[in-house]
Chains A and B, each alone.
Chain A
Amino acid sequence: KQEVTQIPAALSVPEGENLVLNCSFTDSAIYNLQWFRQDPGKGLTSLLLIQSSQREQTSGRLNASLDKSSGRSTLYIAASQPGDSATYLCAVAFFGNEKLTFGTGTRLTIIP
């Protein structure tokens, strides 16, 4: 079964620190992997998309990496700010599917 897992479920970090969020997936045959941000009770904001042929993508203070062979992706956030507090979701487009398969997310709290 194609699944996406995110550990830990919650993370608290002091402001200014760099941090890494983890995502793992069960099948290396993927089209792409997308990281989203979700604020409480709100929609999903796309942060970064990594195609299966890419190793990483960067946007501002965010850097996402992809290691297909090990079924892992990381989202690196540099110099964290209180405004980064949100739930971060990882979603994978597996081969043979048009849908995104989501992880349960990591709830990030940045402590001022």
Chain B
Amino acid sequence: EPEVTQTPSHQVTQMGQEVILRCVPISNHLYFYWYRQILGQKVEFLVSFYNNEISEKSEIFDDQFSVERPDGSNFTLKIRSTKLEDSAMYFCASSLLAGVPDTQYFGPGTRLTVL
């Protein structure tokens, strides 16, 4: 069964460093998302991406964050200058249908630890 994959599974970085989290969505899906979950808290939406541009973003997704689909398969989240409070599990998701919210399939997550 097709699945969303994410790399790395765990990333440790120093405060102020740039990190790139990588995702490979399900191959025929059109919508891509990033969510995060700070330990013990709710899963929170960061950004959605469709047709090579951001379609919706939350207030969390400030200028420190960016997303990119550099080729036909990868979808990346970049944090330019990490802060301690960026430590969280980051989930990538994808869905098939455009325009109407559809089942979102989530990857296993990347645990980001900022020291």
A residues contacting B by CB (< 8 A) are 31-32, 34, 36, 41-46, 49, 89, 91, 93, 97-105
Contact = CB atoms under 8 A, between A and B. Distances in A.
B42 A46 contact: no
B44 A31 contact: no
Contacts of B43: 44, 89, 91, 100, 102
Contacts of A89: 43
Interface string B81-115: 00000000001000000001101111111010000
B107 A43 contact: yes
A31 B91 contact: no
Interface residues of B, number: 23
B18 interface: no
A98 B56 contact: yes
A46 B101 contact: no
Interface of B: 31, 33, 35, 41-45, 48, 55-56, 58, 91, 100-101, 103-109, 111
A46 B109 contact: no
Given A43-B91, A99-B56, A36 B45 contact: no
B106 A32 contact: no
Which of B35, B101, B104 gathers most chain A CB within 10 Å? B101
Given A31-B100, A98-B56, A46 B45 contact: no
A103 B106 contact: no
Nearest to A100: B104
Contact of A43 (B56, B58, B103, B109): B109
Given A44-B43, A93-B101, A104-B42, A99 B107 contact: no
B48 A99 contact: yes
